[in-house]
Structures are given as C-alpha cells and as structure tokens.
C-alpha cells in the first residue's frame, strides 16, 4: 500500500502546499509514511487536472489517495464526479480525507472482509455526499459573485479585477529586454492577450 497525497489550490495566488504538514502529521500519527505528493493549482470544478491524473495513473490497487478535504479532490458536477469516482473505483484506490472520519479506518490494517466491505460502502456514501456539498458551495459562491458584480455595475462602481501591478511591471521588463512572448508565457503562465495589452502600454 502506497499513500499518495494530493494537494490542490484553485489559483496561483493560493498555496497548494499549505496542507502538507497536516497530511504528514496524519500519516505519522498512524505509523505510516506518504510515498508521493502531487501538488497543483487548478480548479476543483475541472476534471482534467494534470497532477490528479498523474496520481491516478501511478496508483495500483490498494493505494490510498490522501487529501485534506473532499473539496480538494472535487468540486465537480455530478457527471464529472461520477467519471472520477468510476476511475478511482476501477483502480482499486481508497480515498482518505482528513475531514471524513469514516475514511480514516480504511488505512488501518487487519479488518476482516465483511468489515472492509461495510467501511467501503459507508465511506463511498459519505464521499458522494461531501462531493455534492462541495459542488453546491462552489455554485453558490459563483452565483453570489455574479450578483455582486451585477449590483456594482448597476451602481456604476464596478471596475473589474484590479491589475497585478508588480507582476505587470515584471512582464514589461521582460518585454523591454527583448524576451520572446513564448518564453515569457512558459515562464510566467500569463496569456498572450495580457502581453499584447502590456506591449501597447509600453509603446504608448
């Protein structure tokens, strides 16, 4: 059995590694060791996440996918969650989440077949419930955000996302130094439209 820790944050501004210590402590308290860590900054509402897919590709039957919270694994809609769950089940992977106490028993050795099957059934049901709650929370926050923007626009006070001044100045410096757009995009992850806008600002 290998324990594979999955750490995810939604944006580059958040620290996907923040929960590493909690996961390490959880494993150590049970006399276990995390064999591999998969860290990425991707939305949990998106199924195609490179590090999550790599984790599942690396897994063998009996391995544990360890997460801090179920919403780190999924904020997926029902169809995508069912696809992910089917792949996890097909691989024989057990999901253990710090916020899902019923799952903690899945990494304890010595359970008989009946107990193991009961634990799998209970944990699967709880996992589905928490995944549904995580999706609802995601949709609620998106709706409130849209409502806030619409309200601000109606009042004439909406100004859009504030510019990241320090980042933009760094990008401008790279452009002024003659660095290619392709190399800048690869190094920073910025978009071509951002570079085009900054190039116009430099020219002006």
**Residues with active-site annotation:** 10
Rg (CA), the chain: 21
DSSP letters, 87-109, are HHHHHTPEEEETT-HHHHGGG-T
Q: Tell me the β-bridge partners of 66.
A: 5, 96
CA 204 to chain CA mean position, Å = 39
**Sheet arrangement for strand 64-67:** 34-41, 3-9, 64-67, 94-97
Classify residue 77 as left (phi > 0), alpha (psi -120 to 50) or beta: beta
Q: Is 20 exposed, middle or buried (0-12, 13-18, 19+ CB in 10 A)?
A: middle
């Amino acid at each position: 059995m290998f324990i594979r820790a999955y750490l995810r944050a939604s944006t580059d501004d958040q620290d996907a590694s923040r929960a590493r210590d909690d996961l390490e402590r959880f494993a150590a308290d049970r006399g276990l060791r995390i064999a591999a860590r998969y860290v990425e900054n991707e939305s949990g509402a998106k199924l195609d996440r490179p590090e999550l897919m790599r984790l599942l590709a690396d897994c063998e039957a009996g391995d544990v996918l360890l997460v801090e919270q179920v919403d780190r694994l999924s904020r997926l809609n029902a169809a995508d969650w069912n696809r992910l769950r089917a792949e996890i089940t097909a691989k024989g992977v057990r999901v253990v989440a710090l916020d899902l106490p019923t799952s903690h028993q899945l990494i304890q050795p010595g359970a008989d077949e009946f107990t193991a099957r009961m634990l799998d059934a209970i944990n699967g049901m709880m996992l589905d419930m928490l995944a549904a709650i995580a999706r609802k929370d995601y949709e609620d926050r998106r709706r409130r955000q849209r409502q806030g923007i619409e309200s601000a626009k109606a009042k004439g006070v909406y100004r859009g996302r504030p510019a990241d001044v320090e980042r933009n100045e760094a990008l401008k410096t790279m452009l002024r130094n003659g660095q290619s757009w392709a190399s800048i995009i690869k190094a920073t992850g910025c978009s071509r439209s951002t570079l085009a806008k900054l190039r116009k600002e430099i020219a002006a």
